[in-house]
A and B are shown apart, each in its own frame.
Chain A
Amino acid sequence: QKEVEQDPGPLSVPEGAIVSLNCTYSNSAFQYFMWYRQYSRKGPELLMYTYSSGNKEDGRFTAQVDKSSKYISLFIRDSQPSDSATYLCAMRKTDSWGKLQFGAGTQVVVTP
């Protein structure tokens, strides 16, 4: 069983809708949680970075971490066609600086 589980999708939503993405994990040692966005034929780029539990908001993006349930989420409000991409969750332990464990990625398609 993988340490990080993520539904690969695809997830298709109409423009303006809220996109809801999530990952579950099995290792309680994970403390740092990230969301990366990857456009087709490009490298991933960091969207959100959170430590431990709680919420973090940045513009239209909100990241949530629930360590008790080993569950993280990313919400995209007022989705745009330019948000169409693959979203990968990533996480690491405190003593494993740089060693990220990625989810499989969820493909999101926002239709005009």
Chain B
Amino acid sequence: DAGVIQSPRHEVTEMGQEVTLRCKPISGHNSLFWYRQTMMRGLELLIYFNNNVPIDDSGMPEDRFSAKMPNASFSTLKIQPSEPRDSAVYFCASSGASGGIDEQFFGPGTRLTVL
């Protein structure tokens, strides 16, 4: 099992540019989560999908952030335009349980730096 795959692993961009982060969940998992981790705010849930449908996006910081899940094996998190305060590690996680133990399996993260 390859686990959750994220790309790119590192992204350095300039303020105002569009950034797209990608995630491939574990095959068979029906829930997908996007998190952001910073020293100041810790690990924050941005949005999560169940069966490709966004369930809760209350953690998305502002309209500059958008997420899509066009199919069960792919999701994107887009920031447009990016700002220096968006610099963080962005994690994607997936889960296959519904009703049982909702263990979330995290990817390796994308380290984003906005200059």
* A contacts, CB < 8 Å to B: 32, 41-46, 49, 88, 92, 97-100, 102-105
Contact = CB atoms under 8 A, between A and B. Distances in A.
Contacts of B104: 46, 98, 100
Interface of B: 4, 31, 33, 42-45, 48, 50, 55-56, 91, 93, 95, 98-99, 101-109
A43 B42 contact: no
B101 A49 contact: yes
B48 A44 contact: no
A104 B109 contact: no
A59 B95 CA distance: 24
Nearest to A101: B45
Q: Which of A41, A92, A97, A105 has the most CB of B within 10 A?
A: A97
B50 A98 contact: yes
